Amino acid sequence: MISSVPANDRRSKLLVYTIEECPACGQKTKRAFQVGDYITKEASKCSKCGNTTIISLIYAESSKQLG
């Protein structure tokens, strides 16, 4: 039953995430997707080494119903 997704649930929301990866040290940071994001785009500075990170992955998760 894990793979079953309720397709008729129109209220289910998708949460989109962006992964920023540092090409120098490999540090990965997950953050909320922002309009204009795309893979290979330059992102924020690496928190470890200060290099400019690159967006390496964008993916969506379905938000689970609370309660």
Q: List strand residue ranges (DSSP E) for 1-67, in order.
A: 14-21, 28-32, 42-45, 52-62
Contact flag: residue 25 with Zn ion (CB under 5 A):
yes
Contact flag: residue 16 with Zn ion (CB under 5 A):
no
Residue from the set 19, 20, 22, 43 that interacts with Zn ion by CB under 5 A: 22
Contact flag: residue 49 with Zn ion (CB under 5 A):
yes
Q: Torsion angle of alpha carbons 45, 43, 30, 62, nearest 10°?
A: 170
DSSP 8-state symbol, 33: -
Residue from the set 51, 52, 63, 65 that interacts with Zn ion by CB under 5 A: 51
Residue ranges binding Zn ion (CB under 5 A): 22, 24-25, 27, 46, 48-49, 51
